[in-house]
Structure 1
Amino acid sequence: MSEREISERLIEAARDCRICHSCFLAPAERRLGFRDEPTGQNRTMGLFREPQEGSQLFADQLVSVEIHHAGIDPFNAGDGERCDAQTKRARSRLYDHISTIAEDLFVVQQRVFLFMILITGRKYRIIRWDRAGTVVTPSVDYYEQPAAFCEIISRFSQLSDTALGFDASATRIFPHDIDSLRMDVAALADTSDIDHSERELKDGDPGNSFTFAYVRSLFRASLSSDWPRFKLCVPDGDQAREYLVGKPTFCDTELFGRGTRGYVALDRKTNRFVWLKDAWRASHRIAEREGDVLARLNDARVKNVPTLLCHGDIDDQVTITADWWERKYALSPALSPSPSSSLSPPSPTLIGSQTSSSKKRKRVDESPPVSEHGEVIPKRTAHTDGPLRQHRHYRIAVVEVCMPLKNFQYGQQLVTVVLDCMKAHHQAATRQKTRILHRDISTGNILIYPRVVRLEGRANPWMMWTGMLTDWELSKPIDAQEASSRATQMGRMGTYQFMSVNLLKHLTKPVEISDELESFFHVLLHHSVRYLRSNCESTSGFIQNYFERYSSSGEFTCGQKSITLEHTGVLRNQQPYGPLVFFSPMDDILATMLKCFHAHYKVLNYEARKAAPPSPPPTLPTSGAPDNDSEEDDDDLVPPFPLVSIGYPHGDITIYGDTPLDDVPTTKEFQRAKRITRHKFLLEYLAKMRLDSRWWIGDRIPSPSATSADELPVSTSPSRTVPTSTSTSNKRRRLASPGCVVSIPARLHETTRRARATPRTLPARRRS
C-alpha cells in the first residue's frame, strides 16, 4: 500500500471506530515560511483538536504521524543483516525527514517535548523528542496487533495539552481574542515613531518614551497569517511579566541543544516593544544564567550591553531523555542495550556554514548508529559522563531591540560598532564587580543600536548608531578556578568560525583576552570581505576558505585562518592571487591588527619550543638578533614586507607581500604580541583610525532592496564608483551553497544568531 492509501485508511478507521475522543486524524499542511518545503512521497498527518475550514494547519497538530513504505526504518539495523548503500541512504533520508518535522514543530509551537508516531509499512514506533535527544519504542505490527495501536491513538486523544508536551507558560492567542486585537493595533504605523537613520536632531531630544520605526516594522512583520500568536510569561522575581509574540525574528532551527528563538515582543502591561529570547540552556550547576550576568554588568554600569528587564527558568521544564538513558544503561562501561527502548544520536553531523543564507541545514548521508538488536545508539562523547545533557527552559527580556551587524552602511561605521563592543568587553573584563570574559564573540553577537547622543560643541543632539555586545550566556569569570567537568568546560564555547586559532588547536585551554581580541579581528574581517568594496572577486570562496574550513589534523588545523595568522601574516586573495585590498583605512586597520596577532603566535610557538624537551636541540638564530624594524613607528604599525603600490581613492596606499621570517621573535615582535594581552592598544588604535580623513561613504557594496524583516531599510547615501580593479559585479553574492564538510571539535557548536538592531558614528564625509 502507498503512503496515501495507508493514511486514508487510518483516517477512515479512526473516524468510523470513534477511537479519538474529541480529536481526529487529518493530513497536515506545511506552510511555515522559514524553510523550503520538503519534497518526497512521505505523508504528513497529525492528531488535531479542532477542525478547520479546508486543510488542517501544520501548527495546530497535537501529535505528528509520519508514514513511509515498508522496509525503511531509520531505527532498525535490518535484523542483523547487512544493508546495501541504497537502503542506508533511504534510512538516512527518512531520519532527516522526521527530524525536520520535529524541528519545525518545536519552532512554530511552544513545546517542552513532542510525541510522534512513525509508521513504516505494517509497523509503527512511538517517538518522544525533546531538546536533549529522542526516546524510541520498539516497532510493533499494527496489522497483527490492531488493538494496541487503536488504544495508543485513543489515549493520545485524551491527554491534556501539557501531557502532550505543550508549554504551560505559553497561551495560544486566537484571532477573536482581545490580545490579538492589541497586537494588530500595536503593529499599525505611528507618526510619532522615530527614524533610526544617523542625523542631527534639529527638533531637539525626543526623550525616552519614543519607539523606533524599524522596531514596529519588525513587530508588524512577525504577525504572519500562517503563524500562531502566543502570550509568553517571563519570571520577574516572585512575579511574572506577560509578553505577546508572533513569528520569531530570529530562529535557530537546530532540534537538539539551545533551540534559541528571538522575538520582538509587546509588553502586555506597558504596551512597549522589547527583545525576548526563548532558549533551552544547559543546566549545569556552575553555569550562570545570562540574565544574572547582565544584571551584574548593568549594576557595574558597563556600556554597550543590553539592559535587563526580567529573566528566569520556566517552571520545572527540563529535558528527561538523559534520565531515560541513565535508567537503562546506568552509565556502565560495557553497554548492553536491550530491545525495550532506544535513543537517537543527540546531534547529527552538519554540512553547511553559519554564513549560509539557507535556513535548512543538511546532514551527512549516513544512517544513525545502531546496535545488533536494531536500536539507535547515541555516540558517547569524550567530554561528558553520559552521551546526553539535561537542558532547562529559560527566557529573558531586555530593553533594546537591535539590528544585525550586516546593516552597517559604510566601513567607518563598521569600525565604530566593533570598537563600541570592544569597549564593552574591556569594561566587563576589568571592572572589579564583573571581571568576566564573553567567550562567544561573533557576528551574531555584535549588533547595532541607535542612540541619541550629545556631542561636544554641537547645539543639537545627534542620532548615532552604536555597537551592542549581546548574548553573555557563555561568559565566565576571569578569576574562576572551579574544577569544571569536561562537559561544562568543552561544551560551553563559542562560534568556531570566529574562535581564535589558539583555542581551536588547544581545546582545553582557558579563554584569554588575546583570544577574544582575535575574535573581534575575525568579525571585522568577515564583514569587510563580505560587504565592503575590495579587489576580492570571490567573496564566498574567501569566506569558506578562511572561516569555514577546519581540519582535526595537520600543521594548520584551521585552514587559511591558521596559515594567515601563524605563517604569512598577510591577508591574500585567491582570485586574483595577491594581497587583499579595501582601498580605505580598513587596509591599515586589518594589517596592523594582523601584525600583532602574527607576532603573538610567533611568540607562542617560540615559547612552546623552548619548553619542549631539548633532544635533539634545534638550530635556531640567537634571540639577540638585530631588530630589522628599528625605524618603524610603533604607534602606526605597518608590516615589514616588500612594497606593492595600489590605486586608492585618496591617493596610493601601501600594501605588502611576503618575505621569510625568522623563527625567533624580534624585540618589537615581543612588544606587539604583548599589546594584545590587554585592550588598551587596540582601543586607542581603532579610536584613532575611526577618525581618519580617508574614509569615504561609498565603500560599501550596494545592497538589494530589503524584502524581509531582517533586511531593514537604512538611510542611504550616494556612493562613488571606485577604480575598475574593484569591480563588484558579484560582491553581493549570497552564500547559499552547502559548503564543505566540517569536522568540528566536541566543544564547538554552530550558532546562526539573532537578527536584530543598528550602529553609530557621525556619517563619513562624502567625496566630492
Structure 2
Amino acid sequence: MSQLPQLKSSPVNNKKSSTERFSTATRTVPANEDYIQLIKEMRSQFVGPMPPNTFLRTFMPKSEGNRLPKGYHALFADLKIEKGFEKNFIQAVRESGLCSGLLFVDTNDQVDGNFNRKPGICVYKSDHEWAKTNFPLMEFHIERKPDSYDPFHDPPQDMKRSLREKYPFEHNTVNGDHSREQISSYAASQFSVQSRAFTFSLLFVGKFVRFIRWDRAGAVVTSRIDWREKPWCLASFLWRFGHSSDNDRGYDTSVSIPTQDEILRTKAALRQRAIDVAVAQGGSEKDILTSIYSSDDTFRKFRVVDDGPDRQEHFFVASVPQWYTSSPTGRGTKGYEALDVATGKMVYLKDTWRYVALGFEKEGDTYRLLEEKKVQRIPHRVCSGDIEGQETRTHEFIKQKWCCRVVIQRHHHYRLVLGDLGRPLSQYTSTKELSQVMLDTIEAHQQAFNAGVLHQDISGGNILITDDGRGLLIDWDLSRRTELAVPAARLKSRTGTWQFMACARLLDPGNKTHEFWHDLESFFHVFLYYTILYQASRISIKDRLTILTQMEQYFDSSINRLDASDSGGKTKLNFFQPFATDFQESDLSKFLHETTLGTIFDLRDLFVPLYAVRRAMTNFRNMDAFLPSLQEARDRLKCSKPLTDILKSRLQGQGWTDDRSDGLFGKPPVQKKIKRPAKRKGKDTDLDNKPDQKKKKSRVSQDASEIVVSSLVLDIFNP
C-alpha cells in the first residue's frame, strides 16, 4: 500500500459549496458575485500545461483498429472562426465523421434554466434529440473565447523546473478569470446532476484549442494547440472520445438504472417515510407533498461493496439527492434517502469523495469504532466502502517537469450507508425539542471524544431529529483520532461549516489546532442559528429585517486575505463581549420566550471569558468578580458538562410553549433567499459575455412580500 500524502492546505475555506446551504443572506447574489466566489475557490487547482500528446495517451487511449477518417484536414483548414464558429464547427465535425455517435448542439443562446448557464456547444449522445443546454444529459462541453480571454498562460518551453514551480499557470486578468470561472461552473453543473468520476471539455481561444480533464481534485489542462496547423490533434480527441466507453468518458459505472419494480417499491417507501415524518411533527398524511419524489427517470441504483472482511455487495435505489454541493472540486457530497433492495428498509446513502491524506480516516471505520465503544445517538452503519477504480488523477502530475504552481488534494470516491433516518434540524417542532436534540448530540460528541474521536464539523446539517424527537450526530468524515500522531497541517487544517465554526478558528485561519471546545462553541452557534431564524415570525417587518441583517453579519461575513485564505468571526467576537450590541436580550425577547432566551445567554456566558477584551474593561469595577480568568474558562470547557448541565436544567424547568406551530412541516416563517445567479433577460445582461458588468445594487424592500416565506415541505429534496 502506497504511503498516504500529507495535507497540502486547509480543506475548508469559505467555499460556495459549504456556505450557501446555511446562508442567511437577505438578497439574491448576482451572477458576477457568484463568479468571483468560484474563481477564488478554484485558485491553484489547474495542472498544466500538459503536452497534448501526453494528454491523449494518458486519458484517451485509442482502440486498436480504429483509424481516423480521411478528409478532416480540409474541413478544419477551411473552417471560418470569425463569425458563426459554433455552427461552422458543428458542420465540420458532422461532415468529417469523427463523432458519428454524438450530437453537437449550438447552445450559445440556449440556457439551462436550472443553472442559468449556457456553454457554446453541448455534446450529447445521438439518441438524445436536444436543442438546448441540458447538463443532466451532456457528454462534454465546448467553449470558445477570444485570444485575450485565455484563462491560462503557458510558460516559455525552456523555463527551468524550479521556476515553473513558482509560475502561475492561471491567467489572472479580468477576462482570464471570467473565462476560467465560466468553464469551472459548467463542470460543476455537470458533476452536480450526473454520476461521474470525471469529465472532459474543449476550450477554443482564438486560433488555439486546449483539452481539459476535470475531476474532484482539479483539472488537467493542455498547452495551446494551433488546431488548424495540427488538425490531427483535435481530430484525435474527437475520434477517441466518440469511440470510448462510458467508463472512459467518466461515467460512474457503479450506478445503474433500476427495474420498474424497484422504482415502484422505492416510491412507496419514500411516501411512507414522508408520512412518518409528518406524523412525528404532529401532522398527518394530508400534510405531505402530492409527490415526494421526482420523475421515474431520476431513479438510480447504487452499488456498494462493503470494505469488511466478507466484501458483501449491496444495492440501493434512490431518486434525486436531498442535497448536494455546487463546487467542481472537493468532496462533492450528495445525500439520499434510499431503499435497501435486499431488506426493503429505508436507509441514508452518502456519496462523497473522501480525502486521501494522513490524518483522515474512512468515515465507515470511524462509525465502526464508535459502535464498538457503544457511543449513543449515532446512526448504525449498514455498509461502506471505496468505489473501485474511482480515484482522482489530477494529483498524479504535480511533479511533472511541465507542471506549474498548484495546490491539489487527492480524493477517492466513497459511499457510506446508515440504517437510521432523521428529519433535518430545521423541522424541529418546538424549541424544547430543539434543546433536547442539542443535549443528545452534545452528549454523543463527549462520548465520542472519550472514545478517541473529535468530530470537528459540528453544523446544522450534521444533526438530525429522530421520529421520537431525539438527536443523532452524523457526518464524521472530517473527524480526527485524538490518540494518533498526525501532521501539523492536519491539526491546523480548518475543518467545519463556515456559519458554525468557532470564532477563534475564523479569526486566525490555519494557525490554531482544532480543540474540543471549538466544537462546543459550534453547538452554540447551531442553537442560536435555528432558534432565531425559525422563530422571528412574531415581530414587525422592520425588526425582522434588523435581525436578519445581524444574522448575515454574524454567520456569513468573511474577508479574503492576501494569502488567499478567508477570515471572519468579528461579529461573533463582538457577541462574546460582556456588553454585546448585537442580538441583545431586549430584541430577542420580542419573539423568543423566556426559557429559550435564558438558554441562549446561559450558553453564551460560557464562552465570554474566552474572548472578552479585558483591557477594554479596566474602567469597570469588580469586572473580574463575575468574569472567570481565561485559564479557568478553558479548563471548564475541557468537557461538555457545563453545556449539558444548562440544557438539562432548562429542559426540566417550566415555561416551554408550542412555539413552532406556524413553522411545522418544513415551512419556516423566516428563510433565506436561495443564492442563485441573476437570470439573464437578454444580451444586455448576459454575464457569460460581459465579465465586468457592474454589480446590481442590493436592496431590502419594506414590503412584507420581500420576506421570503419558505415553500419547502419536509426538506426532502432541498438543502
TM-score by length of 1: 0.66
**Which amino acid counterpart does residue 685 of structure 1 have in structure 2?**
I
**Which amino acid counterpart does residue 459 of structure 2 have in structure 1?**
S
Q: Offset at 1:143?
A: 3.0
**Which amino acid counterpart does residue 335 of structure 2 have in structure 1?**
G
**Residue of 458, 461, 468 corresponding to 1:441:** 458
Q: Offset at 1:50?
A: 3.1
Greater percentage in helix: 2
Q: Offset at 1:321?
A: 1.3
Match of 1:391 in 2: 411
Output aligned runs, 1:128-527, within 5 Å: 128-171=213-256, 173=257, 179-188=259-268, 195-197=276-278, 221-224=292-295, 227=298, 229-237=300-308, 238-328=311-401, 378=405, 387-430=407-450, 434-450=451-467, 464-480=468-484, 482-486=485-489, 488-491=490-493, 493-506=495-508, 507-527=510-530
1:68/1:119 contact within 8 Å kept: yes
**Which amino acid counterpart does residue 465 of structure 1 have in structure 2?**
G
Match of 2:210 in 1: 125
1:61 maps onto 2:138 in alignment? yes
Match of 1:548 in 2: 556
Change (3 A) 1:47 1:393: same
Q: Offset at 1:580?
A: 8.2
2:333/2:353 contact within 8 Å kept: yes
Task: Please list the CA deviations of residues 498-550 of structure 1 after superposition, one character each: whole Å capped at 9, or x if unmatched.
Answer: 22223334544333332221111111111122111376532321112212224
**Residue of 91, 101, 104 corresponding to 2:189:** 104
1:124/1:142 contact within 8 Å kept: yes
**Residue of 559, 567, 586 corresponding to 2:570:** 559
Change (3 A) 1:198 1:51: closer
Q: Offset at 1:187?
A: 0.7
1:215/1:264 contact within 8 Å kept: no
CA distance in 1, matches of 2:378, 2:286: 20
Match of 2:99 in 1: 20
What stretches of structure 1 of length at least 5 have no aligned partner? Answer: 81-85, 202-211, 329-337, 343-376, 380-386, 451-463, 607-617, 622-658, 715-727, 741-754, 759-768
Higher relative contact order (CA 8 A, sep 6+): 2
CA distance in 2, matches of 1:510, 1:477: 14
Change (3 A) 1:596 1:192: closer
CA distance in 2, matches of 1:65, 1:117: 5
1:49/1:61 contact within 8 Å kept: no
Q: Offset at 1:18?
A: 1.2
**Which amino acid counterpart does residue 470 of structure 2 have in structure 1?**
T
Partner-residue secondary structure (3-state), 2:101: coil
2:148/2:175 contact within 8 Å kept: no
CA distance in 2, matches of 1:590, 1:6: 61
**Residue of 689, 696, 700 corresponding to 2:657:** 696
Match of 2:673 in 1: 734
Q: Offset at 1:94?
A: 2.2
Change (3 A) 1:25 1:191: closer
1:50 maps onto 2:127 in alignment? yes
> Which region of structure 1 is more displaced relative to structure 2, 110-119 or 661-670?
661-670
1:31/1:226 contact within 8 Å kept: no
Output aligned runs, 1:584-599, within 5 Å: 584-599=594-609
**Which amino acid counterpart does residue 407 of structure 1 have in structure 2?**
Q
**Which amino acid counterpart does residue 673 of structure 2 have in structure 1?**
R
CA distance in 2, matches of 1:200, 1:43: 48
Partner-residue secondary structure (3-state), 1:277: strand
**Which amino acid counterpart does residue 445 of structure 1 have in structure 2?**
N
**Which amino acid counterpart does residue 259 of structure 1 have in structure 2?**
G
Q: Offset at 1:572?
A: 2.5
CA distance in 2, matches of 1:686, 1:398: 28
**Which amino acid counterpart does residue 528 of structure 1 have in structure 2?**
T
What stretches of structure 2 of length at least 5 have no aligned partner? Answer: 1-79, 158-170, 562-566, 678-694, 696-713
Change (3 A) 1:619 1:127: closer
CA distance in 2, matches of 1:271, 1:79: 61
| Percentage of matched positions with identical amino acids | 26
Partner-residue secondary structure (3-state), 1:128: strand
**Residue of 526, 530, 535 corresponding to 2:533:** 530
CA distance in 1, matches of 2:319, 2:266: 12
Change (3 A) 1:299 1:540: same
CA distance in 2, matches of 1:483, 1:200: 44
Q: Offset at 1:49?
A: 5.1
CA distance in 1, matches of 2:590, 2:581: 6
CA distance in 1, matches of 2:438, 2:177: 42
Match of 1:720 in 2: none
Change (3 A) 1:13 1:472: same
Q: Offset at 1:403?
A: 1.8
**Which amino acid counterpart does residue 303 of structure 2 have in structure 1?**
L
CA distance in 2, matches of 1:478, 1:87: 41
Match of 1:72 in 2: 149
Q: Offset at 1:291?
A: 0.8
2:299/2:317 contact within 8 Å kept: no
Match of 2:593 in 1: 583
1:404/1:444 contact within 8 Å kept: yes
CA distance in 1, matches of 2:338, 2:426: 22
Which structure's CA Rg is the greater one?
1
Task: Please list the CA deviations of residues 705-728 of structure 1 after superposition, one character each: whole Å capped at 9, or x if unmatched.
Answer: 97xxxx4x79xxxxxxxxxxxxx8
Match of 1:680 in 2: 641
CA distance in 2, matches of 1:619, 1:99: 47
2:316/2:341 contact within 8 Å kept: yes
Partner-residue secondary structure (3-state), 2:657: coil
Q: Offset at 1:185?
A: 4.1
1:449/1:468 contact within 8 Å kept: yes
Change (3 A) 1:103 1:550: closer
Task: Please list the CA deviations of residues 28-71 of structure 1 after superposition, one character each: whole Å capped at 9, or x if unmatched.
Answer: 698877x44226xx523215253447668532333322234554
1:234/1:311 contact within 8 Å kept: yes
TM-score by length of 2: 0.70
Change (3 A) 1:671 1:213: farther
1:37 maps onto 2:122 in alignment? no
Residue-pair matches, total = 575
1:546/1:561 contact within 8 Å kept: yes
1:531/1:701 contact within 8 Å kept: no
Q: Offset at 1:24?
A: 3.9
2:267/2:293 contact within 8 Å kept: no
Task: Please list the CA deviations of residues 200-235 of structure 1 after superposition, one character each: whole Å capped at 9, or x if unmatched.
Answer: 99xxxxxxxxxx9799979x6443467473433343
Change (3 A) 1:320 1:663: farther
**Which amino acid counterpart does residue 490 of structure 1 have in structure 2?**
K
